[in-house]
Amino acid sequence: MNRINLNLDHCFGITKLIQELTFEGENVVLIYAPNGLMKTSFAHTLQLYGQGKLDKIKDVVTDIAGSVDIKDEAGNVVLPTSIYVSNCEEPDSETPKNITSFLADNALKQQYDNILRTLSEKQKALFKDISDHARSSDIVSEFVRVFCDGQSSLFYSKFETVMADVSGEEPCYGFKYNSIFDKDGKVKAFIDTNRNALKDYSDKYQAILQSSKLFKQSNGKTFGTYQASELSKSVADNAFFEVNHKIILGDGTTTIDSSSSLTTLISEELSSILNNVAVKKAFDKIDKKASANDSLRQFKEIIENSPDLVDKLLDYNNFHKEVWKGYFAKFKVKADDLLTSYQQAKPTLDTVLQQAAGQRDAWENTICIFNRRFSVPFEVKIKNQTDLLLNEEAATLSFEYKTHTDKKEIESKVLEEIVLSKGELRAFYTLQLLFAIEKMKHDGGQEHILVFDDISDSFDYKNKYAMVEYLCDLKNDTRFKMIILTHNFDFYRTISSRLQVKRNSTYMAYKDENAEIKFHKAEYLKAPFKFIKTKANESEFFIALIPLVRNLIEYSKDISVDPSKSEYLKLTSCLHVKTETTNLTVNDIESILRNNIEDIPNLPTANTTSNIKDYIYSIAENLYNQQGLDEIHIQNKIVFAIAIRLKAENYMIAKLKQVMSGEEFNQFYSNITTNQTSALTKKFDELCSPTNDIQLLIKEVNLITPENIHLNSFMFEPLIDMSVWRLKQLYQDTKTQLV
């Protein structure tokens, strides 16, 4: 594959993009795109295309369905399976970050994590209901403690076993869970120590129970306080009684015809039992011992009000499990849903684990590459861990955090949330990318298109160059065609240089006047300011040299001493409206440029005596009227920026002169030694009461123009990023409104 022809319509932020990318004699296409232009939309579109999800591509504003056509030079459709997109933000953009540290390729890990996420949501819903009923916030860990011996990996298998014994008829007790089943084991210890006293209390309660006309025990069945309470709840709204139903007790003499009469009967019968001398005396023995410990207060209240539980508590462990079965019976719909989902997922999970196990060698090689190339404060290792869902051995990532004096294994979640910087975190995510690529190397020679979206963003320089080194290696592998996207112009130039990308495979993206995305041939990859100097015979370049030479004088000469000071101030007077501005000619500026830079070509105009400010305005006007203005060329942006600021300062100076006396203005104006536009703006806002529109316009001038004029430290990336259309519109606004 030597070329790719792209035809994208309504793909997220891309309204239209028709472009041929050439790989002829090259395995890399390099694209620079300013932030917010098209880079993320482009990568996301190709990612969905590669995943076979064309139906998800659309214009997110208008909701128009997107269209994607990608063909090679022979007109063949590029296979979606050949495209892999990575932005190194997350291992997979559709999978929530860090569900597991399960070691597998993206597809397998996504399968595994999707199943786990579904089960986790169902588990959370079920245990939220149980937690509310039991009034316990740690109910999941309690299940693990009771049934899984504290091993969370056994959760689903043990849940399946427990559910096999749940019919749905089990009683669901309403006492506060931790009042009986406390983590410290104090209740169980009390029961074991006072077993005889508790049994005596239970026996006496059971004996007196037989004389109750409501509470009964017969044939191994008990109608005690729990059952009476449940019956009372079921008829509480009186609907049962209002249709002329009645409850007749077993003795045949007592008829209940309302919920209130049932409540009264239960209260009287329970009071009669609890106030029985023998029962009361037996309880007092327990009460005396339990009262010595504040943590047993709620336990004591429970067995006092529900004596029928005491017999069950004597078989503490069995009752503990009985209580859990009651919870699952009460919330059986959700419990069955979780169980069914788990049972249906098991065959798929088993297959995923087997396939993942077959990838171990490739992962070990990937981790070796990562540890050798990348500089992060941890070392990545592979360890075996019992799988959460199937209770089988599975490989997971392990991270050994390095300090000055020690090494300590730490969970990946802790690494991400607490320890790592964003750059280090991206290096961590790079593992998934490296593995995907290493795995592709074993796909039988199939050609792959790798799309990298700002792969170096947030890396420190060591890791940035580690990634560049890896890309260099990939470039030499004919199985891979790389499309590298970046908004970082420094990285763009680095990749171009280090990977020696051919000029016809290097692009700069921009948006034209019709909002279509276009690709421009690469510019400014080498010696951009030398390039400006050699073009000084063109008006835009001549003006662009003014701020550059001004900086050169500032950095290389003592500007406190004439003639350097004079030259510096004259060039400053081209960028700000100074007293000297009206007297400076094009010829004056040419002389300064020639004094400081050798071999400048002839001036672009014969009219060297014209005023420099008027000359700048005339060139800006020519650019404004130019058809098909180039979006990339920085000289055009510099001209607009200078003209815009001069017009804004002219306007503010004129308005201030109208409200200030000549002496006041001259004193204020002569005292401005730095940040002149800001000083004028502050005084203008204070004295001239500008309209809101004018205020906003001048604020925009202050916001946009400085970085396009002051090429401090020769950083010109703001000039590349700034849209010429925005500057053109701002020029028009200042020309029409600041008059």
| Least-confidence region, from 137-146, 439-448, 584-593, 676-685 | 439-448
Question: Pick the residue with more confidence: 366 or 339?
Answer: 339
- Cα–Cα nearest to 135, from 187, 179, 186: 179
Q: What is the mean pLDDT of residues 660-689?
A: 92
Q: Are strands 14-22 and 3-11 parallel, antiparallel or unpaired?
A: antiparallel
Per-position DSSP letters for 593-624, written without gaps between them = HHHHSSSPPPPS-S-TTSBHHHHHHHHHHHHH
Q: Enumerate the β-bridge partners of residue 284.
A: none
Q: Could you tell me how many helices (H) and strands (E) the chain has, helices first?
A: 32, 16
Side chain identity, residue 682? K
Q: Answer yes or no: is pLDDT of 355 > 90.
A: no
Q: Answer yes or no: is pLDDT of 633 > 70.
A: yes
The CA distance from 548 to 154, in Å, is: 69
Q: What is the mean pLDDT of residues 695-717?
A: 75
Supply the pLDDT for residue 226: 62
Q: What is the mean pLDDT of residues 55-72?
A: 91
Supply the pLDDT for residue 370: 85
Burial of 424 (0-12, 13-18, 19+ CB in 10 A): buried
Q: pLDDT-derived band of residue 105, with 50, 70 and 90 as boundaries?
A: confident
Average pLDDT along the chain? 84
Answer CATH for 3-93+429-521 from 3.30.70.100, 3.50.50.60, 3.40.50.300, 3.40.50.1100 = 3.40.50.300
Which element (helix H / strand E) includes 29?
Answer: strand 28-32
Q: What is the mean pLDDT of residues 242-248?
A: 82
Supply the pLDDT for residue 99: 39
Q: Answer yes or no: is pLDDT of 284 > 70.
A: yes
Q: Are 516 and 16 in contact (CB under 8 A)?
A: yes
Q: What is the mean pLDDT of residues 13-21?
A: 93
For 421-433, write each residue's pLDDT tens digit. 554 566 567 787 8
Q: What percent of the chain has pLDDT over 70?
A: 85
Supply the pLDDT for residue 93: 39
Which span out of 15-19, 465-469, 630-634 was modeled with the highest average pLDDT? Answer: 15-19
Per-position DSSP letters for 151-215, written without gaps between them = -GGGHHHHHHHHHTT--S-S----S-HHHHS-TT-HHHHHHHHTHHHHHHHHHHHHHHHTT-SS-
Secondary structure, 3-state, 297-325: HHHHHHHHHCCHHHHHHCCHHHHHHHHHH
Residue 91 has what DSSP assignment? S
For 39-50, write each residue's pLDDT tens digit. 889 999 999 999
Q: Are 724 and 636 in contact (CB under 8 A)?
A: yes
For 180-214, write each residue's pLDDT tens digit. 998 888 889 988 988 998 888 788 777 776 666 66
Per-position DSSP letters for 233-260, written without gaps between them = HHTTTSHHHHTT--EE-TTSS-EE-SHH
Report helix, strand or coil for 90.
coil
Q: pLDDT-derived band of residue 446, with 50, 70 and 90 as boundaries?
A: confident
Supply the pLDDT for residue 100: 54
Q: What is the mean pLDDT of residues 380-409?
A: 68
Question: Would you list the domain boundaries of the chain?
Answer: 3-93+429-521, 106-175+316-358, 189-305, 528-737
Q: How many residues are listed for the chain in this entry? A: 739
- Cα–Cα nearest to 99, from 412, 415, 418, 425: 412
Report helix, strand or coil for 58.
strand
Supply the pLDDT for residue 96: 36
For 397-420, write each residue's pLDDT tens digit. 777 766 666 666 665 555 555 555
Report helix, strand or coil for 264.
helix
- Tokens of residue 382, six digits: 């592979």
CA atoms within 13 A on the CB side of 358: 7
For 90-99, write each residue's pLDDT tens digit. 444 333 343 3
Taking each helix axis from N to C end, the angle separating 155-163 and 332-357, rounded to the nearest 10 degrees, works out to 140
The CA distance from 231 to 226, in Å, is: 9
* Cβ-based neighbour number of residue 26 at 10 Å: 20
Q: Are 200 and 282 in contact (CB under 8 A)?
A: yes
The CA distance from 644 to 736, in Å, is: 11
Q: Answer yes or no: is pLDDT of 337 > 90.
A: yes
Supply the pLDDT for residue 422: 59
The CA distance from 714 to 720, in Å, is: 13
- Cα–Cα nearest to 399, from 389, 408, 387: 408
Q: What percent of the chain has pLDDT over 90?
A: 38
Residue 71 has what DSSP assignment? E
Roughly how many angstroms between the first and final C-alpha of the chain, as a whole number? 58
The CA distance from 178 to 134, in Å, is: 8
Q: What are phi and psi of 395, to 5 degrees?
A: -80, 135
Taking each helix axis from N to C end, the angle separating 139-147 and 155-163, rounded to the nearest 10 degrees, works out to 80
pTM of the model: 0.65
Supply the pLDDT for residue 257: 82
| Least-confidence region, from 297-306, 374-383, 571-580 | 374-383
